[in-house]
Amino acid sequence: MSARIRIDAESAVPPYEQVRAQFAARIGDGRLPVGTRLPAVRQLATDLGLAVNTVARAYRELEGAGLVETRGRHGTVVAPGRDDATDRLQRAAAGYAAEARRLGVPRRTALALVQAALDAAGQD
């Protein structure tokens, strides 16, 4: 698994976000199906040459988004129960993120645009 996760040391995107985004994209497009076990935090950190806390933060953010769940000693796995709407929205978000990066739009600006759109739509 870690061989497919790549960290671009020259990128302005923080390493934890690179890890999070790559896993989120793979979960969103089905390359990592429900129940797939992610590498242990320590092992992935070692494989990628990152601090354990960096990988742990990526996993926490994935869990907060409902994409994975941590099962104690059984590790972190792709979460079940995502519905079609969530999957479709994940794909749209991945597309938006890719387009923002392609256009060179800073992360804060891209997030602010999404927040403004949700506010305009009356979404909490």
* Residue (of 61, 52, 53) closest to 17 by Cα position: 61
Tens-place pLDDT, residues 64-95: 888 999 988 889 999 986 666 777 787 788 88
Amino acid found at 124: D
Q: Which two tokens stand for residue 88?
A: 């479709």
Rounded to the nearest 10°, the torsion over CA 51, 54, 109, 67 is: 150
Give the DSSP letter of residue 69.
Answer: E
In tens, the pLDDT along 15-62 reads: 999 999 999 989 888 888 888 999 999 999 999 999 999 999 999 999
For 91-102, what is each residue's pLDDT tens digit? 788 888 889 988
Three-state SS for 78? Answer: strand
Q: Read off the pTM.
A: 0.69
Per-domain residue ranges for the chain? Answer: 1-81, 83-124
Tell me which amino acid residue 64 is.
G
Q: What confidence category does residue 3 fall into, taking pLDDT thresholds of 50, 70 and 90?
A: very low
d(CA 12, CA 9): 8
Tokens linked to 10: 């020259």
What is the third-level CATH fold of 1-81?
A: Arc Repressor Mutant, subunit A (1.10.10)
